[in-house]
């Protein structure tokens, strides 16, 4: 029996029939694999399973008892699903029917981020295809959070179908003839003033939206998790404590934050802007969005301009102009001095966020451990020195 192990997730791939004739051998093999990887999270991909008898069901029951929870059984065919349903195993295990298969060959690539890529399937639908190894549970959470934001009045795309492409999962959105803001601007730069102001208005709308506590994960909790990772992997305890001191200075809010707001994650459908890529949507202070926006549009242009261009779908000059119009609209001012002070404070905060975002992007194929260490070696000395000024900037911006 084939299996894979990724990020402590052990996925089994049974094939053919499991009946009285081969159940003992199957049981021996599966428990041998589990014994080799103690503590791994068990998942069963039943795409290749055509039949399971009562002898196979008894093994599933043993697995249920050993794991102590309803482990996922994915891609069950209609025949296998019916057997599991009739025998009550859909109540004992987390069983998912086989998903519709889609192909992205020849499809337009709309954008690519740390969690996956977005393709246009046809004039009416787009597909967000997650990186291999992303669980259906994580995808279900994004759909849940997007629905919460949508019902609160935030214009965002709502998924209507979960699909599979090879070994990757994805969700399909209905967005008729929509393109990213980045693509629209790149194809017609005269749109920049209008599009930049619209982006600023959308960000203000997002930050005027509050949801009841507990509906969305707290951004503070996510940031604490990332700092814990940095401490285990790269940082001395004293440096991690400095990061926590800045984090704790950011006030708690139930404000809705996107956490990855840029022109590649906003679709333009007619004159309406619609948010996509809601993996990291959270409750927190608007500073989290503003800082991510600054890093994408300002810092990245001086460090990795090719990444900034690929992420937003625009060239360097377009990114700079879009940032200017967006921030002017968001802050409600064109005063050069006020905007300069805002930029200076953002530059200070970028030292803090750049370090933390190394943990957020730890699973990215583009961020090797050596590259992360190089960034830390460059940023950390400046961060240590500037912590008092960073705290002052936080207090000023959070007013």
Q: Which residues of 159-189 are buried (b: 16+ CB within 10 A; e: fewer)?
A: beebbbbeebbbbbbebeebbbbbbbbbeeb
Residues 22 and 65 in one domain: yes
Length of the chain: 399
Structural domain includes residue 134? yes
pLDDT of residue 304: 87
Structural domain includes residue 57? yes
CATH, residue 138: 3.30.200.20
Residues 307 and 361 in one domain: yes
Residues facing residue 74 across a β-bridge: 45
Residues 43 and 136 in one domain: no
Structural domain includes residue 45? yes
Res. 364: pLDDT tops 70? no
Res. 309: pLDDT tops 90? yes
- Show the tokens assigned to 79: 């025949």
Residues 381 and 241 in one domain: yes
Residues with Cβ within 8 Å of 364's Cβ and at least 6 positions away in sequence, in order, are 114
Taking only the tens place, the pLDDT of each residue in 199-225 is: 999 999 999 999 998 899 999 999 999
pLDDT of residue 277: 85
Structural domain includes residue 363? yes
Q: For residues 225 and 231, what is the distance between their CA atoms, to the nearest angstrom?
A: 10
3-state secondary structure of 322: helix
Whether 348 contacts 390, CB under 8 Å: yes
Whether 164 contacts 101, CB under 8 Å: yes
Structural domain includes residue 72? yes
Whether 184 contacts 270, CB under 8 Å: no
Residues 291 and 169 in one domain: no
Structural domain includes residue 90? yes
Residues 60 and 206 in one domain: no
Query: Last residue of some domain: 98, 132, 148?
Result: 98
Residues 84 and 125 in one domain: no
pLDDT of residue 158: 78
Res. 363: pLDDT tops 60? no
pLDDT of residue 85: 94
Of 81 and 363, the structure prediction assigns the larger pLDDT to: 81
Q: For residues 207 and 218, what is the distance between their CA atoms, to the nearest angstrom?
A: 14
CATH, residue 325: 1.10.510.10
Q: For 95-99, 110-114, 216-220, 261-265, which range has the lowest pLDDT when averaged over its residues?
A: 110-114
Query: Last residue of some domain: 154, 174, 194?
Result: 174
Question: How many Cβ atoms sit within 10 Å of the Cβ of residue 39?
Answer: 7
CATH, residue 60: 3.30.750.24
Residues 263 and 126 in one domain: no
Domain that holds residue 244: 179-397
Q: For residues 101 and 33, what is the distance between their CA atoms, to the nearest angstrom?
A: 29
Structural domain includes residue 103? no
Residues 61 and 92 in one domain: yes
User: Residue 95 is inside which H or E element, if any?
Assistant: strand 94-97
Q: For residues 199 and 227, what is the distance between their CA atoms, to the nearest angstrom?
A: 30
Domain count of the fold of the chain: 3
How crowded is the C-beta side of 96, counted as CA atoms within 13 Å? 20
Whether 305 contacts 316, CB under 8 Å: yes
Structural domain includes residue 195? yes
pLDDT of residue 366: 60
pLDDT of residue 368: 77
Residues 238 and 280 in one domain: yes
pTM score, whole prediction: 0.78
Residues with Cβ within 8 Å of 348's Cβ and at least 6 positions away in sequence, in order, are 386, 389, 390, 393
Query: Last residue of some domain: 157, 174, 191?
Result: 174
Taking only the tens place, the pLDDT of each residue in 238-278 is: 999 999 999 999 999 999 999 999 999 999 998 899 998 88
Residues 205 and 349 in one domain: yes
Taking only the tens place, the pLDDT of each residue in 121-167 is: 998 888 999 988 888 888 888 888 888 899 999 998 878 788 999 88
Residues 312 and 167 in one domain: no
pLDDT of residue 176: 73
Average of per-residue pLDDT across 85-102: 92
Res. 21: pLDDT tops 60? yes
Output the average pLDDT for the chain.
92
């Amino acid at each position: 029996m084939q299996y894979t192990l990724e990020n402590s997730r052990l996925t089994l791939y049974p094939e053919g029939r499991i009946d009285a004739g081969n159940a003992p051998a199957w049981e021996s093999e599966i428990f041998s694999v589990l014994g080799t990887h103690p503590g791994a999270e068990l998942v069963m991909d039943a795409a290749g399973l055509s039949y399971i008898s009562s002898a196979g069901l008894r093994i599933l029951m043993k697995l249920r008892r050993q794991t102590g929870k309803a482990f996922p059984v994915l891609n069950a065919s209609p025949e296998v699903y019916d057997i599991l349903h009739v025998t009550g195993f859909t109540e004992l295990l987390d069983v998912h029917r086989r998903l519709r298969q889609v192909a992205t060959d020849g499809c337009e690539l709309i954008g690519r981020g740390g969690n996956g890529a977005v393709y246009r399937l046809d004039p009416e639908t787009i597909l967000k295809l997650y990186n291999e190894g992303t669980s259906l549970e994580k995808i279900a959470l994004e759909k849940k959070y997007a629905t919460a934001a949508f019902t609160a009045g935030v214009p965002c795309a709502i998924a209507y179908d979960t699909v599979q492409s090879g070994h990757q999962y994805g969700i399909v959105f209905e967005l008729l003839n929509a393109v990213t803001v980045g693509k629209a601007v790149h194809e017609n730069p005269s749109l920049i003033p209008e599009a930049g102001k619209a982006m600023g208005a959308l960000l203000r709308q997002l930050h005027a939206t509050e949801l009841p506590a507990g509906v969305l994960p707290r951004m503070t909790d996510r940031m604490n998790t990332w700092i814990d990772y940095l401490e285990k992997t790269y940082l001395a305890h004293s440096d991690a404590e400095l990061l926590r001191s800045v984090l704790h200075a950011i006030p708690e809010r139930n404000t809705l934050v996107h956490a990855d707001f840029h022109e590649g994650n906003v679709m333009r459908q007619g004159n309406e802007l619609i948010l996509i890529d809601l993996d990291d949507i959270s409750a927190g202070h608007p500073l989290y969005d503003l800082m991510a926006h600054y890093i994408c549009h300002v810092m990245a242009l001086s460090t990795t301009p090719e990444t900034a261009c690929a992420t937003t779908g625009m060239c360097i000059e377009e990114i700079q102009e879009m940032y200017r119009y967006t921030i002017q609209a968001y802050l409600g001012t064109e005063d050069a001095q006020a905007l300069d002070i805002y930029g200076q404070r953002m530059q200070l905060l970028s030292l803090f966020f750049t370090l933390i975002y190394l943990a957020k992007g730890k699973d990215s194929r583009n961020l090797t451990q050596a590259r992360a260490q190089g960034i830390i070696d460059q940023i950390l000395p400046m961060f240590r020195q500037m912590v008092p000024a960073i705290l002052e900037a936080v207090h000023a911006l959070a007013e």
